[in-house]
Structure 1
């Protein structure tokens, strides 16, 4: 009787056990005899295992499924075990290898030059008409029929078979299909997709055996079993030439507007019906602009013409040719405010003000930001507040402007309207802001109160907190590469750096500039310590913003890292090499140190190819008017007693030479003053008799800062915009009656000193 067994690929695979060789060398898998061994003879030891070949043990029974466990047998019985009934493809084999209880008369198989013929428990194999000898015969184990892996993989399939000693896995690769088999767990991976197999592989005498059903399913082999001759005949599937897939796509619109999402429909196909496995998009023929999906590289392009290309790969590994189309991206027009006015003709002082406006823009695009300003009509054009007025507290005419920004980033032209405030008082500014406001709110002070006229507060300067303050801020605007500042610190300290790139754009493009901060141990003993609160900001052309954000984050920063330097060792604390630092942009940074030994800190401006070890040989740019040097104060501590005050009082900080900390310039060996006391914390402790509001009023030209209350987070002051003149102020909090609170302030990089803190009792709010 002859039964035909044909198995084909299935979308979901349930696999038989896999047998895989787990040795380390090229002799993994089937070992052919004299004629079949491409390497020549295969010397073996007394047990028939190749020399210098580690043979893994058979997996223990507990690693197999319960119904797959191999029962105890007498020596030699393993090869004689027959398949169990009902086991898929293997049920086609005889139950006990006999016919009617007697051993059948074995007939020699007919040799077919188009087939491979193997006989159960026989090492003789007919490979396309050629006789070869195997070291291990095909066999039945636990109801599964096993064939030598390398023989089937390399001799029959002509596939690539590799062994990975590290992962203990075997890979069979043919025609773009990759099958990975594990020898340590019942898993396999078909083109990267993990599946579970129902038993572990087996290895005998250095040869890996694989279930015949697994091979037939994975590689579409045609297999016949002849009961009379107990032979397995394997015929390779008919090889049909694989036609490359065809890439095709079309855009959903003929053109798009800059900022609009570009959408394309992929219509690629494979003439052979194979699955499209991979897509690759490319922009303007540039290999660096490729991605698996178009929206990753071309979601909202700018105005212009673009060539979009696509190619695809089928499941067999063949790529299509590139196909290309050109798409036009139209300019994105800025939005336009077409109507803008206050909702009432007049407002009382302190009355909430509301506005209405209409605009025109692309219908698919949203408005993402608004920019408001307002000022007294009698004030200079540049003396405005950068916020939307919610109420105004002084009689007069006020000019309000509005700009809107679309999602593409276009700002509209300014729209302007006028608000009239009457002489009727609903609320004062102090009453409203100090009761309902938020820390950082701006005091518009249109009545132009001069906070300098406040009474001097009863303030006592307590002992300064000593330490080493290292500041590199000169030349603030740098036009030459080289060493900016350097000195050695020990113990408690703080490092501050603030510099602006002033190199010509062409020069900067040819040699991208970097700001670096380095710590180095120039002693003969190891040095340890900590670096804490490390904060950097920029590059940005908004110098005030950089200084404010640096201060905000420094106040909130609780990070700490260990610093360990062996003799002669150095480490880079900061390097802006990954940032595009353009002309006019500022970089600021600050951190605290606690050092058990001397550490030399260096701040330098380098080109992209300059080496740190070359810094000592580089020039030293000339110092300008901005402060630079090493100082011996880290914090100033002030106590303000308001328990006997019922008037508005003030405390002015950083106002003159008698307060500025003095030190030395380590590069020039000259005495210097820290004008404004940059980098020094002011801890102001306040005790009040009644609820007392605290305001911050800058007395210099430009200011944009931050403050922090003890046991609280830091706040921007002002929360929006900046102060262009000394008649503005920011609300920074309230000290409750009988309460003692500590406020921390530092002059932000880029802003001006001095600043005034005003203390206003509740009795003066109305």
Structure 2
């Protein structure tokens, strides 16, 4: 009996039994123990060790000697002679096993398992499944082998961080985040100084220690913080250059707001108009907010007298910034003197692809053979279900090497807002035109290449619009083909060979036109009286005639889309130059003395009463250079206005 008790002292905690036919999948662990059925050996992390008894299977339940399991896991074992229990301890666990029973106790809680612990040649054999469950191990089986996997105990650390980088006395709610290593082995922690808020400014040290599953405490970890004095609300303040103003007199506001940290993040003004157009007192308000959400308000009253400096119309003409709009009497503009002009056109051709504007499928959009200079413009909306990419192919139709040069270009989209793409493409084209950069592509006789491959960089999703302009030159006869293919096509030039022409729609333009550049000639000096130069009316500014080379249909570019207008005019001093739409929504880009001006910076000309400021001459007569393009999607006609401004 004493020999039997001594043997039991070597045994460890009994573990649940496992049928080989129904085994849980093991999770990764930094230790693996392989048990071999009917063999008195095991392997721990690849190193073999002898076992006092072989692993055995009895009635579908696998057993292993408790003493071997205890030794390989690094636990300890003892025997209670009164209760006849083998007691295994380790990793903050206490397991009790007893011969001829189907239960074990884990930290005082009893659990049952399949099979029954028994003694084999002096060794207590326990079910391997139960052992895995009690120790938190995972288990797999394969070809007479059982593998247990578990993580070794690792001593945890007490690191932490204070979440707030700036802490203000009485104001900041302070939180702490653990950064402990091996946190799964932490069972208790103690803090000092980890207050949720601090009442006084100064330096504070916060310390944390943690206890592991073996009951041992870590080294203390400390963080020192600097608590700042309570944040003060910003102080809002401003002044005006005067206290009494005339109607329409410009007001200068000077912001004098301060903050103790110089951390004002938002200024909210109300009623701070640049000028007022009714007499009486006006209360102006300013609210400033700091980065902590504290704010203050300041109000100041000014008086508007009955005397008039500028009417609303006169003020807008004189002070609205270029690219911004104001509203006027649209009907009165028709009474402005209509300026006569002549024009001359360049030899550059225009290849237009805007019909069908709405694409439902892939196909050939436009094709023509060109020699010399031409401008391409593209505007299409995908209303199909497939994503589409647009490409431009060039095929050398001559018997000699052909060079295709690409000059100014601009594109925008894909985007659901068509007028935006038209305006942005115009701006990018005009900016590119100023750089003078070109790229060259050489084509052998009969060779085809993609030109401007960036056209196909992004696919048009359903209801996306794409706009583009480009100036090109072909040194000899080159056939240019614009086409659309489904996204994902790896060989678009091969797919192109299978295409037929997409049918044109009944509203938009497609074709080749002469005269892509139009220079306006005006002899008189402008600005003596309100005047307008009218474009796109088909009388003063006739539209281009051309032909759709896909089917021979004669075409009219009713909006002169893709045409670059240029004019140099002599303008009186103190004259406003502005844009005004007459046919509906209009958008585009002007260059005034080589400086781009959007029409407009934040919107579009939508009504006949909308005016967008382009330029103002100074105190002397000037020659002003203007060029512009009408953005695709716009409506015509439109006016360029010349309005003498009130002085004084």
Give distance in 2, aligned partners of 1:245 and 1:640.
Answer: 89
Q: 2 CA distance for matches of 1:489 and 1:743? A: 29
2:606 is equivalent to residue 724 of structure 1: yes
The 3 A distance-change label for structure 1 pair 431 and 514 is: same
Alpha-carbon distance, 1:633 to partner = 0.6
C-alpha distance in 1, partners of 2:357/2:463? 11
Match of 2:324 in 1: 441
Asked if 1:680 corresponds to 2:563, the answer is yes
Of 655, 670, 673 in structure 1, the residue corresponding to residue 553 of structure 2 is 670
Contact 2:409 2:428 in 1 (8 A): no
8 Å contact kept, 2:357–2:379: yes
Distance, in Å, in 1 between the alignment partners of 2:406 and 2:634 is: 26
Distance 1:250 1:441, change over 3 A: same
Provide the C-alpha distance between the structure 1 equivalents of 2:630 and 2:519, rounded to a whole number of angstroms.
15
**Corresponding residue number in structure 1 for 2:536:** 654
Q: Residues 222-261 of structure 1 correspond to what in structure 2 (within 5 A)?
A: none
Which secondary structure state, in structure 1, belongs to the residue aligned with residue 347 of structure 2?
strand
Question: What residue is the counterpart of 1:565 in the other structure?
Answer: 443
Q: 1:589 to 1:437 in 2, by over 3 A?
A: same
* Structure 1: distance between partners of 2:544 and 2:439: 29
Preserved contact between residue 531 and residue 592 of structure 1 (Cα < 8 Å): yes
Cα deviation, residue 739, structure 1: 2.2
Alignment of 1:94-109 (within 5 A): none
3-state DSSP class of the match of 1:450? helix
1:393-450 C-alpha deviation (Å, 9 max, x unpaired): 699xxxxxxxxxxx9xxxxxxxxxxxx99986442355444544432121222x5553
Q: How far apart, CA to CA, are the structure 2 residues paired with 1:718 and 1:365?
A: 31
Structure 1 residues 139-176: Cα deviation after superposition (integer angstroms, max 9, x where no partner): xxxxxxxxxxxxxxxxxxxxxxxxxxxxxxxxxxxxxx
Change (3 A) 1:437 1:628: same
1:284-303 alignment runs, 5 A limit: none
Distance in 2 separating the partners of 1:566 and 1:244: 73
> Which residues of 2 match residues 616-627 of structure 1 at below 5 A?
616-624=497-505, 625-627=507-509
Q: Structure 1 residues 596, 425: closer, same or farther in 2, change over 3 A?
A: same
Aligned to 1:592: 471
- Structure 1 position 613, deviation (Å): 2.1
Query: Does 2:510 match 1:631?
Result: no
Structure 2 counterpart of 1:714: 596
The offset of 1:353, in angstroms, is 10
**Superposition misfits of 4+ residues, deviation over 3 angstroms:** 242-253, 263-271, 346-354, 364-367, 388-395, 420-426, 428-437, 574-578, 735-738
Instruction: Using the TM superposition, give the Cα deviation of residue 628 of structure 1 relative to its aligned residue in structure 2, in angstroms.
Output: 1.5
Matches within 5 A, 1:462-611: 462-503=343-384, 507-508=385-386, 512-557=387-432, 558=435, 559-567=437-445, 568-575=447-454, 577-579=456-458, 581-610=460-489, 611=492
Using a 3 Å threshold, how does the CA distance of structure 1 residues 481 and 521 change in structure 2: closer, same or farther? same
> Contact between 1:514 and 1:606, CA under 8 Å: does it hold in 2?
yes
Does the alignment pair 1:453 with 2:335?
yes
Q: 1:514 aligns to what SS in structure 2? A: strand
Counterparts in 2 of 1:480 and 1:429: CA distance versus 1, 3 Å: same
Q: In the aligned structure 2, how far is the partner of 1:588 from the partner of 1:245?
A: 63
Equivalent in the alignment of 1:133: none
5+ long unaligned stretches in structure 2: 1-150, 164-175, 185-239, 256-262, 280-290, 292-302
Relative distance call for 1:429 and 1:461 in structure 2 (3 A) is: farther
Sort the Cα spacing of 1:613 and 1:523 in 2 relative to 1 into closer, same or farther, 3 A: farther
Query: Structure 1's 665 and 373: CA in aligned 2 closer, same or farther, altered over 3 A?
Result: farther
Aligned residue-pair number: 401
Take 1:724 and 1:483, find their aligned partners in 2: how far apart are those partners?
Answer: 34
On the 8 A contact 1:630/1:663 being kept in 2, the answer is yes
1:691 matches 2:574: yes
Change (3 A) 1:542 1:644: closer
- How far apart, in 2, do the equivalents of 1:552 and 1:579 lie? 20
Deviations 1:555-598 (A, max 9, x none): 11123211212221312413555435322221111111122112
Does the 8 Å CA contact 1:540/1:586 hold for their aligned counterparts?
yes
Distance (whole Å) between structure 2 residues aligned to residue 244 and residue 527 of structure 1:
76
Match of 1:747 among 603, 626, 630: 630
Question: Is the 8 Å Cα contact of residues 379 and 466 (structure 2) preserved in structure 1?
Answer: yes
Tell me, what secondary structure is at the counterpart of 1:629?
A: strand
Quick check: which one's strand share is greater? Answer: 2
Q: TM-score, normalised by structure 2?
A: 0.53
Superposition pairs for residues 195-274 of structure 1, below 5 Å?
Answer: 267=180
| Structure 2: distance between partners of 1:587 and 1:744 | 23
Q: For 2:461, what is the secondary structure of its paired residue?
A: coil
The 10-residue stretch of structure 1 (594-603 or 746-755) with the greater mean CA deviation from structure 2: 594-603
After superposition, give the CA deviation of every residue in 1:279-316 in whole Å (9 maximum; x if it has no partner): xxxxxxxxxxxxxxxxxxxxxxxxxxxxxxxxxxxxxx
Contact 2:526 2:570 in 1 (8 A): no
Q: CA deviation at 1:496?
A: 0.8
Query: What SS is found at the alignment partner of 2:424?
Result: helix
Report how far residue 517 of structure 1 moved: 2.1
What is the SS of the residue equivalent to 1:547?
helix
CA separation in 2, counterparts of 1:391 and 1:466?
50
SS of the residue corresponding to residue 426 of structure 2 reads helix
Change (3 A) 1:268 1:606: farther
Q: Which residue of 1 aligns with 2:40?
A: none
- d(CA) in 2 for partners of 1:683, 1:759: 16
Q: Hey, what's the Cα distance between the residues in 2 that align with 1:252 and 1:621?
A: 65
Q: Is the 8 A contact 1:707 1:714 kept in 2?
A: yes
Provide the residue aligned with 1:186 in structure 2: none
Distance 2:496 2:278 in 1: 58
Q: Where in structure 2 are the equivalents of 1:166-181 lying within 5 Å?
A: none
Question: Unpaired runs of 5+ in structure 1?
Answer: 1-241, 254-262, 272-342, 357-363, 375-387, 396-406, 408-419
C-alpha distance 390-545 of structure 1, shift in aligned 2 (>3 A): farther
Quick one: which of 465, 477, 494 aligns to 1:613? 494
On the 8 A contact 1:428/1:765 being kept in 2, the answer is: no
**Cα distance in 1, alignment partners of residues 550 and 523 from structure 2:** 42
Contact 2:561 2:630 in 1 (8 A): yes
- Distance change (3 Å), C-alpha of 1:251 and 1:429: same
Query: What whole-Å deviation, never above 9, does each CA across 1:696-724 have from its counterpart, x for those lacking one?
Result: 101122122210024x2211122222222
Going from structure 1 to structure 2, the CA distance change for 1:576 and 1:552 (only over 3 Å counts) comes to: closer
Give me the TM-score of the superposition, normalised by structure 1. Answer: 0.46
Cα pair 2:586 2:630 within 8 Å, conserved: no
Please give the alpha-carbon distance, in whole angstroms, between the structure 2 residues aligned to 1:685 and 1:645. Answer: 14
Name which of 308, 311, 327 aligns with 1:428: 311
Shift of 1:725: 0.8
Aligned counterparts of 2:641 and 2:347: Cα–Cα separation in 1: 27
- C-alpha distance in structure 2 between counterparts of 1:498 and 1:523, whole Å: 30
